[in-house]
Amino acid sequence: MSAQAFVDESGRGPNYHVCAAVVANGDVDALRRLVRSFCMPGQRRWHFVHERDSRRRQIIDALVATGQATALIFHGHGRDGKVRAECFHRMVQPLLDRSVTRLIIESREGRDELDRQVLISELRHRAGAFGYDHMPPHGDPLLWVADAVAWCSSAGGAWRDRVAPIIGLTQNVTDV
């Protein structure tokens, strides 16, 4: 079964977390509807860092309950550009293993070209390579899933525990 993946990050001080939320193609539309349902009237999108804890719990609990997303977490300590590049390097094989055919990355000014360079290098000689594109945060609601899970992962403690049921992989990219 093929899937799509949606990537966003969360940084806390020198710690940087990248989440790839993998969703089976058959679940994409239903999960988008659910995620959009959490927008408040007049809100174009939600961003986890700006939500109250009660809404955060509500959103995460709903995402976990659907079982429609599997999160891959890559994290490291250091300058975010270098850690981000290593996260992208390391995520390619797990995405291929999960039959991802399309990767959508939340665009970050000044980072998109580096993402492309890493992905081109990693995908160049691999069978079943997936397509990828950068989008603004409002471009696809499933980017918000990656945002929420990355935020919970970087927050640690009870927040990390709350998303644990959908975490399929956690990898520290600074552990070499």
How many whole angstroms separate alpha carbon 59 and alpha carbon 46? 10
7 bridge partner residues: 20, 105
Q: What is the CATH number of the domain that holds 105?
A: 3.30.420.10
pTM of the model: 0.94
Question: What range does the domain containing 58 cover?
Answer: 3-172
Number of domains in the chain: 1
pLDDT tens for the chain, 176 residues long, are 899 999 999 988 889 999 999 999 999 999 999 999 999 999 899 999 999 999 999 999 999 999 999 999 999 998 778 899 999 999 999 999 999 999 999 998 888 999 999 999 999 988 778 999 999 999 999 999 999 999 999 999 999 999 999 999 999 998 63
